[in-house]
A and B are shown apart, each in its own frame.
Chain A
Amino acid sequence: MQNLPQSIDATTALLACEGYVADRALSTLTFLSLTLNRPIFLEGEAGVGKTELAKVIAKGLGRDLIRLQCYEGLDASSSVYEWNFAGQMLAMRNGAEQGDIYSEKYLIKRALLQAVEPHPSGPPVLLIDEIDRTDAPFEAFLLEALSDFQVTVPELGVIKAPEPPIVILTSNRTREVHDALKRRCLYHWVDYPGFEREMEILRARLPEVNADLSREVVAFIQKLREEELFKRPGLAETLDWAKCLVALDVVALSPDVITDTIGAVLKYQDDIAKITGGPATRILEQIRQDMQAL
């Protein structure tokens, strides 16, 4: 188990160790969260590295990562615990007493219960992903769970975390999450990275991509984000695309290459139809000119 970073710079270094290039604000936020035991609430477009932050913190600190993927209709029972009903029935057939049935043996622990249990490697990282997909009742439930870090199983009693877990919530903002929940967190809006930072991230994650190709890929994606698209490409798409190009032994972008691989970048048919051909060539020419001007 690794010690918590003692300064913002140390936090940046910790994240960088795991290949996560954080800007100053995000490092500050992470540092604050670890120091103050306050959840982080990350909001932003899909594919800008929100979920990744939780993974990296867990890895960097050597903690367990517990992920609660939210979806519509997620309720307290499927996020905290369930009884293994079939197992209990079988045990009763074999003549078990009532006390035996409600033992930990038949308890199926879900994410939130796992998060408050003691972990040998220290408090775990609890990632509550895409909270905007759940409904208001579950949010209210979370609000309570996150303020006390304890969970009640009526048959067993209260289970309280010895030390609060590190909590990270993410939202793609498909709907507005209630302010009460956000107020208890450190709120941060994650934006698309700028050119320099995206280059840095690409270098950190995919060192095998040569510098010229990286520059072209990042410049192209950056320009693409300025276009009127249904879903603008995120950082995840940049990395995917770069990987594709390397796999295809591409050394420089060309209109043909773009047409063949655009599926890694744009995920909607309308967007693809809009960009392929003329606009892609225009963007490519533009970035070549910009690069020569430098």
Chain B
Amino acid sequence: MADAAGRLPDNIVYFGRALRRAGVPVGTAQILEALRAVQLVGFTKRQDFHTTLRAMIVTRPEHLLIFDQVFAMFWRDPDFLENMITNLLPVITAPSVEKPMKPAQNRAAEAMAAGGGKPRDLPPQELLELDAQFSHSDVEKLMQKDFEAMNATEIRQAEQAMADKTSEFEYSRAAGQLAEAAAQLRTLRQIREKLGK
């Protein structure tokens, strides 16, 4: 329990970064005060925690939906990082172009996948599960050296494309690419670490 309390500040800071990536402007002062509010009040209910953070951070009704989405993904219990890798990837890659009606959800998903939140360390058993999802040849392919470089280039391209928001279509495609690449990259690193390379 003490460990969980110790991680709370980190988690809130990462949460703030995830929100910022999703397009909700969050100042450092707000994050600090949100942390203070949460610690001072001391919660037992998830809903109260949600209300407190929202009241301290959101200032516009149009940001409420994005906040709720990011919150749902970020504080999803208990293994949110694993969930993110396995669940979010399909959500944001394939249908991101055809789903313009849910921009808040997309942006939230992108923000999470783009590395907004990564405060937790994966325990070994989660790595094993991750590993089990790849066939041997997959792992071999992933181990090839230029794959990561290629991914980094992809990320750069995607980021450039995102900076140029002239058309809605380009933007959502680039955002999808970026999210996909970032998530792949992270999975790769974990597999490498696990194999001791």
Question: In the complex the two chains form, is B59's CB within 8 Å of A32's CB?
Answer: no
Interface 1/0s, chain A 170-182, versus B by CB < 8 A?
A: 0001001001001
Interface residues of A in 174-226 (CB under 8 A from B): 176, 179, 182-183, 186-189
Question: Which has the most chain A C-beta neighbours within 10 Å: B40, B47, B60?
Answer: B60
| 8 Å CB contact of A24 from B37, B51, B58 | B51
| Complex Cα–Cα for A176 and B60 (A) | 9
Query: For residue B47, which residues in chain A have a CB less than 8 angstroms away from its CB?
Result: 24-25
Shortest distance from the beta carbon of B77 to any chain A beta carbon, whole Å: 20
Query: For residue A29, which residues in chain B have a CB less than 8 angstroms away from its CB?
Result: 51, 55
Interface residues of A in 140-184 (CB under 8 A from B): 173, 176, 179, 182-183
B152 interface hit (Cβ, 8 Å)? no
Shortest distance from the beta carbon of B45 to any chain A beta carbon, whole Å: 8
A43 interface hit (Cβ, 8 Å)? yes
- A35-B40, A35-B41, A179-B25 as given contacts; A187 in contact with B58, CB under 8 Å: yes
B interface size (C-beta, 8 A): 20
A20 interface hit (Cβ, 8 Å)? no
Question: In the complex the two chains form, is A31's CB within 8 Å of B55's CB?
Answer: no
Interface 1/0s, chain B 7-28, versus A by CB < 8 A?
A: 0000000000000000001010
Query: For residue A264, which residues in chain B have a CB less than 8 angstroms away from its CB?
Result: none
**Which A residues are within 8 Å of any B CB, using their own CB?**
8, 24-25, 28-29, 31-32, 35-36, 41, 43, 173, 176, 179, 182-183, 186-189
Shortest beta-carbon contacts, A-B, top 5: A182-B59, A186-B55, A28-B51, A25-B51, A189-B61
Give 7 pairs: A residue, B residue, CB < 8 Å, sorted on A: A25-B47, A28-B51, A29-B55, A31-B41, A43-B61, A183-B27, A186-B55
